């Protein structure tokens, strides 16, 4: 399949390796090309005041406890890397700060993803530029000028531009699927166009495939009722498998576009057409 399916585990793994491996297994069953994560250096991304704020979570009573609980350690990323190799699936990540870029360079990942929130972080973009890694750009909460500025920094290093709306979960009236056609018209000659989904359903993922997207990224979870801010905009295992099934059916039914009588129609034609 030309279109790459990307299952974003992100922070839905809640720092738990057993849970994370189950989601990797779901991605494999759903014929995903890769799973995706997020990497933050907590003390760099958030201020002390923000981290000190009270917040009840499974890991403690402050924002700091919660943020640290969601992050994977180096040893856990090594385990993720080994497990993905064992399962023959790729993985990559969105770094949210320059230290996280250095952290990820310990691994042979195929892409670095620029999260929508980071598209205007020039220091981070320039750091990623120096790695030489192929880049995926998400366009949520961004205007055309901001996207063009990021493209100016990266140039040919960008491989995919993803249409995206950064509300969690995204209501149907904010999906703006026609933006995919705008991106294809303006940037499609130079970059591959894809789609990053934050809708709780699968209809827009399938729509993006029909519109010609070459990468489809969606959050996954084992249970949407689980703890976490991204769970409600994620797909459970049955949804991931449906995407695979729907896309395969669309591919089978696409045909060659010719206007002609099929061999299977000949007997029907002989029976029903007037002589």
What mean pLDDT is predicted for residues 134-141?
A: 97
Distance CA 52, CA 153 (A): 35
Distance CA 60, CA 57 (A): 5
pTM above 0.85, yes or no: yes
Residue 5 pLDDT = 97
Supply the DSSP string of 68-108, one letter for each residue.
HHHSPPHHHHHHHHHHHHHHT-EEEEEE-SHHHHHHHTTS-
Pick 153 or 273 by higher pLDDT. 153
User: Quick one: how far is CA 232 from the chain centroid?
Assistant: 15
Cis amide prior to 7 (ω within 30 degrees): no
Distance CA 92, CA 41 (A): 17
Return the H-helix or E-strand segment holding 252: helix 237-253
Res. 1 pLDDT band, cuts 50 70 90: low
Pick 224 or 98 by higher pLDDT. 98
Whole-number mean pLDDT of the chain? Answer: 94
Q: Is the pLDDT of residue 185 over 70?
A: yes
Res. 275 pLDDT band, cuts 50 70 90: confident
User: Quick one: how far is CA 213 from the chain centroid?
Assistant: 12
Share of the chain above pLDDT 90, in %: 80
Which residue has 């385990």 as its token pair? 79
Distance CA 244, CA 235 (A): 13
Express each pLDDT in 6-59 by its tens digit: 999 988 999 899 999 999 999 999 999 999 999 999 888 888 889 989 998 888
Residue 193 pLDDT = 98
Express each pLDDT in 92-104 by its tens digit: 999 999 999 999 9
Read off φ and ψ for residue 36, nearest 5 degrees: -125, 145
Residue 123 pLDDT = 97
Length of the chain: 275
What mean pLDDT is predicted for residues 107-120?
A: 96
Q: Enumerate domains of the chain plus CATH numbers.
A: 4-272 (3.20.20.70)
* Three-state secondary structure readout of 132-194: CCCEEEECCCCCHHHHHHHHHHHHHHEEEEEEECCCCCCCHHHCCCHHHHHHHHHHCCCCEEE
Express each pLDDT in 227-253 by its tens digit: 877 788 899 999 999 999 999 999 999
Residue 162 pLDDT = 98
Res. 215 pLDDT band, cuts 50 70 90: very high
Collapse the DSSP code of 111 into the 3-class scheme (helix H, G, I; strand E, B; otherwise coil) and give the result: coil
Can you read off the two tokens belonging to residue 120? Answer: 């205007």
Res. 63 pLDDT band, cuts 50 70 90: confident
Q: Whose CA is closest to 179, among 159, 155, 197, 154?
A: 197
């Amino acid at each position: 399949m030309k279109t790459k399916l990307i299952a974003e585990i992100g922070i839905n793994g809640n720092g738990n390796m057993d849970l994370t491996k189950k989601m990797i297994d779901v991605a494999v069953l759903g014929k995903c090309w890769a799973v995706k994560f997020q990497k933050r250096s907590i003390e760099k991304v958030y201020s002390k005041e923000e981290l000190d704020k009270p917040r009840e979570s499974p890991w403690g009573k402050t924002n700091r406890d919660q943020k640290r609980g969601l992050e994977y350690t180096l040893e856990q990323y090594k385990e993720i890397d080994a497990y993905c190799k064992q399962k023959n699936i790729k993985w990559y990540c969105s770094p949210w700060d320059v230290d996280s870029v250095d952290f990820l360079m310990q691994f042979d990942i195929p892409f670095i993803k620029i999260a929508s929130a980071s598209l205007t972080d020039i220091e981070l973009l320039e750091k990623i530029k120096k790695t030489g890694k192929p880049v995926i750009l998400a366009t949520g909460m961004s205007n055309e000028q901001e996207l063009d500025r990021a493209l100016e920094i990266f140039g040919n290093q960008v491989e995919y531009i993803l249409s995206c709306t950064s509300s969690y979960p995204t209501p149907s009236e904010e999906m703006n699927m026609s933006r995919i056609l705008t991106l294809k018209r303006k940037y499609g000659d130079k970059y591959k166009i894809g789609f990053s989904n934050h809708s709780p359903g699968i209809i827009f993922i399938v729509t993006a495939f029909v519109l010609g997207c070459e990468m489809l990224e969606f959050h996954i979870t084992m249970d949407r009722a689980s703890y976490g801010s991204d769970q409600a905009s994620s797909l459970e295992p049955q949804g991931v498998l449906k995407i695979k099934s729907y896309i395969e059916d669309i591919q089978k039914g696409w045909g060659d576009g010719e206007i002609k009588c099929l061999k299977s129609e000949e007997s029907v034609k002989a029976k029903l057409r007037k002589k």
